[in-house]
Structure formats: C-alpha cells, structure tokens
Amino acid sequence: NDIIRNQAEGITTIIMEPTRELAVQVDQQLEGFSYFTDISSIAIYGGRDGHSMEQEKKALKQGAPIIVATPGRLIMHINLGYVNFDNLRHLVLDEADRMLDMGFAPDIMNIVNRLPTKRQTYLFSATMPPEIRRFARQLQKDPHEISIAISKPAENIMQAAYEVSDEGKIPLAVELLSGKKNLSR
C-alpha cells in the first residue's frame, strides 16, 4: 500500500530470495497483486541467458519499483554500476534461515551496506535460531520479532463445502449470505 500511495521514481523495494524458483514465484504473485496498478516488478536471478541479463539491466536502469532477486545476481548488477537505490524504502529478506544456511550472509551484508540506512527491513524465517536473531540485529535497528504459532481451526466457526455448477454459484452465495440457507456439515 505504501508503494502505491507514495510512488517514487526508481527502485523502492527489494525482495531477496534464496533460490531462482522462489524469486520467480514471488514475482508472479506480485504481478497478480499489482495487475490493476502502475506498479511493476522484475525477477533477477542467475542461470539465464544473456538476453535475460539485458532485460534485467534495462529494468534496473529504468528503476522498476519492486526487485525480486537472488543475492548473487543482484550483487553482479550492483558491481556493474548502474543500479540506483536512492529511493529504496523497503528491504525484504524472505526465508532468511535458508539464505544463511546456503552461505549468503556475506552477500546480503555486501548489498545492505550499499543501501540507504533509512529504510524498513523485513526478515522472514521459518525458524529463529540464535544465528538468525544475531543476523537480524546486524540488519535492523531495534528489531521486533513476531511469532506465528501453528493454528487450528476456530472452534465456533462452521465450515461447509458445496459442489455447484458455475450457474449455481451466485444463487448459493446469495442464499448463504442472506442466512436463508443453513450450513450442513
């Protein structure tokens, strides 16, 4: 929402992923979320041909607002000297535990040291071992940890599944929302 409300020229968000598969997946989701907006994103990852490298270079030079990247490929572009992070406001480290396990900590620190210090940094991790907590303290000022416990379905919520044809979906939704149809287990 901040990206849409406060559109700035250039790169405003970097989302770092440990693998090219995750970078592609996240970029595809972003394309879906931003379909009806002027926000664009690009996935930047290694293991592709020279044409892809040129597309990445063009997007980085033009300042695609959201960059989804693997650390190694992003460093390569940064070292070539045409990436501008002056308007960067958000850094997202997804699957940080995997990135550390894969040995990306030096690459991530190399990237972080080239970013504006005034930014929000989000670190997501399936596990929070001590080394992830130490890493978070290196990257963030006064980090706050939000833990999400494995949840079970709410006890007082009734769930039901209906097999309906395309033509029957709207009438069923109207009946359910108006309370005319009782949910059956």
What values do phi and psi take at 173, rounded to 5? -60, -40
In this predicted structure, what is the pLDDT of residue 139? Answer: 83
Amino acid letter for position 83: V
Give me 111's structure tokens.
């990237």
Determine the pLDDT at residue 159: 76
CA distance 141 to 143: 6
86 and 12 Cβ atoms separated by less than 8 Å? no
One digit per residue, the tens of pLDDT, for the chain of length 185 reads 455 555 667 899 999 999 999 999 999 999 998 888 888 899 999 887 778 889 999 999 988 899 999 999 999 999 999 999 999 999 999 999 999 999 999 999 999 999 999 999 999 988 888 888 888 888 888 888 887 766 666 777 777 888 999 999 998 888 888 877 666 54
pTM of the complete model: 0.75
CATH 3.40.50.300 is the classification of domain 2-139? yes
